[in-house]
Structure 1
Amino acid sequence: MDETTPPEHLNPLQRFGRDIRQVRLARKLTQKHLGKATGYSEGYVSKVESGTLLPRPSEKFAKGCDTVFGTGELFAGLLRRIDEGDHPSWFVPYLNLERKASRILDYSASLVMGILQTEAYARAVFRASHPREDADLIEGRVAARLRRRELFELDAPPLLWVILHEACLRTVVGDAEILAGQLEYLLKAVTSPHIDLQVLPFSAGAPGAHTRPFTLLTFEKHPTVLYADGPQGGKLYDSPATVALHYDSYDRLRAHALSPGGSLALIKSLVKEYRS
């Protein structure tokens, strides 16, 4: 990034890096000093300041900078706004709650849920759903989706329990190679003690009253919240009756799904099928 580049010509990550550098220099700190103080390398700080670190600087780094610089929550807030800028406005409230949840119970009906998508799979999804969108906007959406994985880097990450309808495993997103890569990523993801996965097979019949995907977020000290897709985007619901109805549906879906072991066996067989 050229230091003479006008701010209006910088992308959000470049502006973030430029602000970090300006404050660092004002505090008379070297990149090595800042890296050591925040728990990162000098090279990491250099990439942040040049705006070339992808998908974006970590929340831990931003908070560390605020501590070192004495800037309150300035850089952590800037990073959140960058993140939110790559998501549709109706999805931001869900993201804010997702970061605070103790459990995430998800039912996906046709596509693998966003937080478990690979880069190639997410790119194919966005290209299909936004065929006329510029490539840089697509890449911003992809990067924002991948950043959601940072949830599992927290000291106390939430438990994620995912029920995937078999249609998610057989809908060829992009091409067979991309889908095979996505399924292999699922096999890797479930090795985490914080992620459980079950597949609802076609043989289970109709999936019940709720054929659309939905997510239940539970919290230690707050009531459970439901997130469900609609024709105009997703929406949050906190009505006890609505939440209870979807809890019941989730229990039924889980009861009719394959066991975790049987689910992984099916995924492995499909990987072989798509790789052949």
Structure 2
Amino acid sequence: MDETTPPQHLNPLQRFGRDVKQVRLARKLTQKNLGKAAGYSEAYVSRVEAGKMLPRPSEKFAKGCDTAFGTGELFTGLLRRIDEGDHPSWFVPYLNLERKASRILDYSTNIVKGILQTEGYARAIFQAYFSREEEEVIEGKVAARLRRRDVFERDTPPCLWTIVHEACLRTVVGGVEVMAGQLEYLLTAAASPHIKLQVMPFSAGAPAASTRPFTVLRFTDSPTVLYTETRVGGRMHDSAQTVDAALDDYDLLRAHALSPDRSVALIKTLLKEYRE
């Protein structure tokens, strides 16, 4: 990052790096000192300050900066706003709740859930949906989507149970290579102790429950929330009656989907087809 670059021409990561450097110098700390305090290397701090830490600096680093600088939650908040800036405003409330959830129940009907998308798959989705946007905007959205995986790096990660309709696996997003990479990632995810994956096959016939995608978020100390989405935005539902109906639907979907083992077998079969 050029020191003479006007602030208005800096991207969010460059502005974050500039702010870290300014406060570090004001506190008379070296990059090595800050790295040690935050639990990272001097090289890591250097890349952050240059705005080159992609997809973005970790939340742990931001918290380390706040501790080292005595800035409360300033840098943690700045990092969170970078995340929010790459998402539509109507999605931010869901994103904040997803970070806090202890259990995530999801049903995906046409595309793979965002938190399980690969870089190539996410890029193809955004390039198709935001075809008039600049490449930098697209890449920011891709990076933000990949950062959602950070919840699985927590000391107590959420349990994700996802039911993926076979249509998600057969709709060719971004070409066969991208789809092969996406299916490989789903197999890796399915092997995680924190993730359960089932496929709703075409052979299941008429839907036993909802034909629309939805997500249920459960918390250790808050009421359960249902999230639904349309083209014009997302909506959170917290009425007990609505949430209970969604949970009943989810139970039916689980009952009609393939078992986790059979789901993995189907994904492997489809992966072989894409590779060939």
> Does the alignment reach a TM-score above 0.5?
yes
How far did 1:66 drift?
0.2
Asked if 1:175 is matched to 2:175, the reply is yes
Q: Per-residue displacement from partner, 1:204-244 (whole Å, max 9, x unpaired)?
A: 11223411110000001111000011231111110111111
Counting only pairs closer than 5 Å after superposition, residues 47-126 of structure 1 correspond to structure 2 as 47-126=47-126
Counting only pairs closer than 5 Å after superposition, residues 1-276 of structure 1 correspond to structure 2 as 1-276=1-276
1:121 and 1:36 map into 2 onto residues whose CA distance is 36
- Runs of 4+ off more than 4 Å: none
2:240 and 2:208 map into 1 onto residues whose CA distance is 20
1:180 and 1:225 map into 2 onto residues whose CA distance is 33
How far did 1:130 drift?
1.4
Matched residue of 1:164: which SS?
A: strand
- Normalising by structure 2, what TM-score? 0.98
2:59 and 2:191 map into 1 onto residues whose CA distance is 24
Which amino acid is 2:194 matched to? H
Q: Per-residue displacement from partner, 1:44-63 (whole Å, max 9, x unpaired)?
A: 11110000010000111101
How far did 1:150 drift?
0.5
How far did 1:192 drift?
1.5
Which amino acid is 2:258 matched to? L
1:127 and 1:224 map into 2 onto residues whose CA distance is 34
Do 2:209 and 2:253's aligned partners in 1 also have CA atoms closer than 8 Å? no
Q: Per-residue displacement from partner, 1:163-201 (whole Å, max 9, x unpaired)?
A: 000001000001011001100011111221111100010
Which amino acid is 1:86 matched to? D
How far did 1:257 drift?
0.6
- Normalising by structure 1, what TM-score? 0.98
1:71 and 1:230 map into 2 onto residues whose CA distance is 39
Matched residue of 1:112: which SS?
A: coil
Matched residue of 2:100: which SS?
A: coil
Matched residue of 2:206: which SS?
A: coil
Which amino acid is 2:263 matched to? S
Unaligned runs of 5+ in 1: none
Which amino acid is 2:125 matched to? V
1:190 and 1:257 map into 2 onto residues whose CA distance is 15
1:210 and 1:179 map into 2 onto residues whose CA distance is 26
Which amino acid is 1:178 matched to? V
Q: Per-residue displacement from partner, 1:128-153 (whole Å, max 9, x unpaired)?
A: 11111111111111010000010101
Q: Per-residue displacement from partner, 1:94-119 (whole Å, max 9, x unpaired)?
A: 00000110000000001000000000
Do 2:209 and 2:250's aligned partners in 1 also have CA atoms closer than 8 Å? no
Which amino acid is 1:26 matched to? A
Identity %: 74
Superposition CA RMSD, Å: 0.8
